[in-house]
Amino acid sequence: MDDQTRTEIEAAAFRRLRQHLMQDRPDVQNIDLMNLAGFCRNCLSRWYQEAAADHGIELSKDAAREIYYGMPYDEWKAQNQSEADARKQAAFQKAFAKNVGKKD
């Protein structure tokens, strides 16, 4: 497989993952993703931001999130996220420290 085809397939897989998380399963909470898988939608938007920077394109965290979420992050949160209980928040602190390493 040539590099261009591999890149196109990887991009298609990313778009499908985004569709799954944003359209098919918006009910899955970011905190549950982080606690179970070590990443969430915000991580994906940050990775998008980092990939853009690797190509000389500067995006703010908010701009990257708006691109990923398809709307301002606060709007998406209000529509889709619920408050997490203390147990989930404590697990999140551990998962975040292990997988991200710094406060987002």
CATH topology for 3-99 is SMc04008-like fold (1.10.3340)
Tens of pLDDT along 28-39?
A: 999 999 999 999
Q: pTM of the prediction? A: 0.84
Looking at residue 70, the DSSP 8-state letter turns out to be S
pLDDT, one tens digit per residue, over 29-86 is 999 999 999 999 999 999 999 999 999 999 999 999 999 999 999 999 999 999 999 9
* Number of other residues whose CB lies within 10 A of the CB of residue 44: 20
Q: Over 90: is that where the pLDDT of 103 sits?
A: no
Q: Phi, psi at residue 91, to the nearest 5°?
A: -65, -35
Cβ atoms of 44 and 52 closer than 8 Å: no
Q: What is the pLDDT of residue 100?
A: 87
Cα–Cα distance between 35 and 100 in angstroms, integer? 12
Separation of alpha carbons 89 and 67, rounded Å:
26
Listed range (24-28, 29-33, 93-97, 98-102) with the worst mean pLDDT: 98-102
